[in-house]
Homo-oligomer: A and B are copies of this chain.
Amino acid sequence: MSLLVVGSTAFDDIETPHGTRVGCLGGSSTHFSLAAALFTEVRLVSVVGEDFPAEHRALLERKGVRLDGLEVKPGKTFRWSGRYSADMNSRETLDVQLNTFGDFAPKVPPSFADSRFVFLANASPQTQLSVLEQTAGAEFAVADTMNLWIDTARSELDELMHRVDGLIVNDEEIKMLTGETNLIRAGRRALQMGPKLLILKKGEHGCFLFSNFFQSAMPAYPTEKVVDPTGAGDSFAGGFMGFLSTCDTLSLWNMKRAIAYGTVAASLTVEGFSVERLATATREDIDRRYQELIQFVAV
């Protein structure tokens, strides 16, 4: 089924213990799209500057990402610079240049308006709400968010949480959102704020999935090689939404499988800088790791 993503496209400058990359392809919508495209065609809504190279467009299109909604504006593409700690469990943002992303007002093109699955990558809740208004027929909409919006746009975020089907947050964010330190209690509390489904990402510790009818856990895929964690969360969301959009029903069973596919997509992303590993991954890679992950948790 049709899957739309709205988010950032960026140039990333990245330092990790494994090396440095300057100006590589990044952004939430990029990681999401390349992961989701392993399962289905992806419709991208984002913005770049005139400096965005043809080769990046070509890569996305070749992988099955439709760029009808990729606006090109005068000026430069959004740029993010960051440095990871030695154990890669934390990172420092060194510089942010919003550039053309600064006043991003997503316009869903008519050809994408009938999208049935919608992923709202991290942006202000107001921006995310504006996308929901443009995709009124969406069957399953999921939003990401971050501490900044929990802090500064709480009432808009509260409205958003009542409008989306699912919310994806990490452990810090959910503690901030709910005031609970016990993650299980926090997950159940967040469900009372609106979303029918809550995904709690815990990085190397895997993730939890909460609904009012079930809860489920998935460890991270046991990778020994973490080169660059940038985009892991968006790739997770891409694998989750990409797989789910190919399912006949939004059943518990399919949700659980979808978080396993999200986990696998994230495990590929972290093994290379930027989208290097994800861009060369095949559906066979995904399915092999999926089986390994299932064995890893099987009792």
> Closest residue to A209 on the B side, CB-wise?
B296
- Binding site secondary structure of chain A: mixed
> Is A58 on the interface with B (CB-CB < 8 A)?
no
Contact digits for A98-111, partner B, Cβ 8 Å, 1 yes 0 no: 00000000000000
> Is A154 on the interface with B (CB-CB < 8 A)?
no
Asked if B181 contacts A224 (CB within 8 A), the reply is no
| Selected interface stretch from A21-29, A46-54, A125-133, A214-222 | A214-222
Asked if A217 contacts B219 (CB within 8 A), the reply is yes
| Selected interface stretch from A36-44, A114-122, A137-145, A199-207 | A199-207
Question: Could you give 19 example pairs across A and B, Cβ below 8 Å?
Answer: A86-B181, A88-B181, A182-B224, A184-B222, A184-B224, A185-B224, A188-B224, A202-B205, A205-B205, A205-B206, A215-B222, A216-B296, A216-B297, A217-B222, A217-B297, A218-B297, A218-B299, A260-B299, A297-B299
- A-side interface residues toward B, CB under 8 Å? 86-88, 181-185, 188, 202, 204-206, 208, 215-219, 222-224, 226, 256-257, 260, 294, 296-299
